[in-house]
Chain A
């Protein structure tokens, strides 16, 4: 047997060897990427500045302190046309938050109830839940909203012929009137009553707000229901059987055994549904509810500051998304299975 002769390696290094060096190539490709992005960004900016210059405008956010001059129908804080644009944006942001918070609340409840109902052994209950889920999941939210607003709320009779629903709830073309509490002089519940051409007492929600809130709640509720169903089905059947063997009732089993465990499966997809609801609330612009986006549209139509307004809006929605996901991540860490 002959021994292997190792090939003699040339010690001469090519002057271009660095071209095959992976570290060098990485740096080079990043520089090229950086340059391409930079050139495109520069080109866009130059075009934009030129276009603005032709219109005799400059970029800047100073206009926010100018007088707004338009009124807003629904507001939670003091506002009139004499206030400035920044104040108008605050009104819009609060309106968005209002519909989001109530929407998240109702969507969660609807989702839980329908998700549990979907798994019911009662045939008719589980079928109704199935129809509800499939309806919500396969219709665009915007179509649902314009249908609720233009097709239902605006077609309702006038106040005097309002449709009464048991529980002192009235539906009319003014919107949804519900009993509401008051704190002055002392806590008491006010029931709406028809007096003349309007309701006295209670709370009347505008058709826009009602349509948006109902639409967001049932739409997101349909998606949450599927998540809840999947979460409950992920818990092994032995858990239910063990709980029943211990003498837990159906309700106790669900509340104490199944849901706490299902939560761990439910939370991550639920987070993205909550984020979707927050983002979807911007569809208010299509039905005329004065949310953040519709007010910013009004401002941008009045001032022509579309670039500034778009950046503000994107920044606000981005922070809303980040806050929502931060809260839910914190909660997720709390309910997470602590492994030994």
Chain B
């Protein structure tokens, strides 16, 4: 009998290496129908993209974007108070930079793309000098944050998490202002909010304010109190069963009737109320998913330690449940970011609403393709970047898995 040599070093299988032709053969022309598919889809690509590219560089008149860039970004927000928007962006850049330096390993390309983005934005011809300086400043703030985060490592972890939580209410505060008399830091009424700014504010308000309601609804649905439970189920299912646009109509047309005479809310606030109600129902279902994922042993252990049901929820169950649903909440934030475009139907001037009002001006008749493509690109970039980063972070940090 021959004995096998057991001490031979086991090598991993050789990695496949291709030449260019080899790669082409493997991926594009391995069989006859593969070759057919390749040729067919290449033709399709050509037929779709060739006219589009030639349109974009010859027929299209992009001046409409350039001339109205400020309107599309911030609507009628008073220019003298513009520093508040910049402040929000600087703070976001710093926190994002620190978080990136601290938590994100790898993803070098995405990071570079994010730093380069403000510089690309500077290329818009209609921007003024101080806009460009601020954009550059934002990029440097993000970069500085990145190096701080990387140098200080995890010691800033708690502070950074806290600043993310504080950031969103702070934005609302900064944009709205404090002082009723219009001196320093006066109130900028919500009728001045517009463009991309309004889109973001609607999303942020929708998520932040729906959080407490969503959690209460989720807990109510799990409750042993029959009446509370039925109310919560009814509320959640009705809101989820009807289109968002009907809720927006309701908040615009019916909500004012519910309030006492003489008590008026302006349109933006009413739209925000609708967004919060809508978002709360969806958030409740997501949180419920997290609650159901908590093993029963956690409740029993809390009982055994003598915690009452309120303490069990606050200290034991909710922290775990919320942690488990973070990825879904990010997804919901992105979905809401897209869904807020519906307020344009009731005449609010969010990104889409401003675009539609621009196109109604005689100067810009027939510029629909350019304007809609531009705002579609803005929506696309923001939601793609957010979902890309959150997916990568999920995998990397094991959020939601524990």
Q: Residues of A at under 8 Å CB distance from B?
A: 26, 29-30, 33-34, 37, 44, 47-48, 50-52, 54, 120-125, 128, 134-135, 137-144, 146-147, 150-152, 154-155, 279-280, 282-283, 285-286, 293, 297, 300, 306-307, 310, 313-314, 317-318, 321-322
Which of B231, B253, B376 interacts with A306 by CB under 8 Å?
Answer: B253
Q: Any chain A CB within 8 A of the CB of B375?
A: yes
A229 to chain B, nearest CB (A): 14
Main secondary structure of the interface of B (DSSP, over half): helix
Residue-wise, chain B 234-265 has the 8 Å CB interface mask toward A (1 for contact) of: 00001001111110011001101111110000
Report the stretch among B62-70, B292-300, B339-347 that lies at the interface. Answer: B339-347
Q: Known interface pairs A44-B258, A155-B368. Does A124 touch B242 (Cβ–Cβ under 8 Å)? A: no
Q: Known interface pairs A47-B258, A285-B245, A322-B241. Does A310 touch B227 (Cβ–Cβ under 8 Å)? A: no
Contacts of A293 in B (CB 8 A): 243, 245-246
Nearest CB in chain A to that of B260: its residue: A47
A309 to chain B, nearest CB (A): 9
Given contacts A128-B45, A286-B344, 14 further A-B contacts (CB under 8 A): A30-B225, A34-B227, A51-B261, A52-B257, A121-B27, A121-B30, A122-B41, A128-B44, A138-B383, A138-B384, A139-B380, A147-B368, A285-B245, A317-B243
B245 touches A155 (CB 8 A): no
Q: Residues of B at under 8 Å CB distance from A?
A: 27-28, 30, 34, 37-38, 41-42, 44-45, 224-228, 231, 238, 241-246, 249-250, 253-254, 256-261, 338-339, 341-342, 344-345, 352, 356, 359, 366, 368-369, 372-373, 375-376, 379-380, 383-384, 387
A26 to B238 Cα, complex, angstroms: 26
A67 to B369 Cα, complex, angstroms: 40
B376 touches A143 (CB 8 A): yes
A20 to B375 Cα, complex, angstroms: 59
Nearest CB in chain B to that of A281: its residue: B243
Contacts of A48 in B (CB 8 A): 257-258
User: 21 pairs across A/B with beta carbons < 8 Å?
Assistant: A30-B227, A30-B228, A33-B225, A51-B256, A122-B38, A135-B380, A138-B384, A142-B352, A147-B368, A151-B369, A151-B372, A282-B243, A285-B245, A293-B245, A306-B249, A310-B246, A313-B242, A314-B250, A317-B243, A317-B246, A318-B241
B253 touches A139 (CB 8 A): no
A140 touches B257 (CB 8 A): no
B338 touches A139 (CB 8 A): yes
The 5 closest A-B pairs by CB, nearest first: A123-B27, A140-B338, A147-B372, A279-B243, A150-B368
Which of A134, A147, A322 interacts with B373 by CB under 8 Å?
Answer: A147
B340 to chain A, nearest CB (A): 8
Q: Known interface pairs A282-B245, A282-B246, A300-B253. Does A140 touch B28 (Cβ–Cβ under 8 Å)? A: no
B242 touches A318 (CB 8 A): yes
B243 touches A146 (CB 8 A): no
Nearest CB in chain B to that of A250: its residue: B33
A124 touches B368 (CB 8 A): no
A274 to chain B, nearest CB (A): 13
A52 to B256 Cα, complex, angstroms: 11
Which of B227, B242, B258, B369 interacts with A33 by CB under 8 Å?
Answer: B227
Which of B37, B241, B245 interacts with A125 by CB under 8 Å?
Answer: B37
A142 touches B368 (CB 8 A): no
Contacts of A135 in B (CB 8 A): 380
Give the tally of cross-chain contacts (CB within 8 A): 155
Contacts of B352 in A (CB 8 A): 140, 142-143, 146
A123 to B380 Cα, complex, angstroms: 24
Contacts of A141 in B (CB 8 A): 338
Contacts of A134 in B (CB 8 A): 384
Nearest CB in chain B to that of A318: its residue: B241
Q: Known interface pairs A47-B259, A150-B372, A314-B238. Does A140 touch B34 (Cβ–Cβ under 8 Å)? A: no
A103 to B249 Cα, complex, angstroms: 24
B238 touches A47 (CB 8 A): no
Which of A121, A138, A314, A317 interacts with B387 by CB under 8 Å?
Answer: A138
Which of A124, A140, A318 interacts with B341 by CB under 8 Å?
Answer: A140
Q: Known interface pairs A143-B372, A310-B253, A322-B241. Does A123 touch B28 (Cβ–Cβ under 8 Å)? A: yes
B257 touches A280 (CB 8 A): no
A44 to B256 Cα, complex, angstroms: 10
Contacts of A47 in B (CB 8 A): 257-261
Contacts of A321 in B (CB 8 A): 241-242
A147 touches B376 (CB 8 A): yes
A285 touches B345 (CB 8 A): yes
Contacts of B227 in A (CB 8 A): 30, 33-34
Which of A26, A144, A280, A306 interacts with B225 by CB under 8 Å?
Answer: A26
A142 touches B345 (CB 8 A): yes
Contacts of B45 in A (CB 8 A): 124, 128
Contacts of A120 in B (CB 8 A): 37
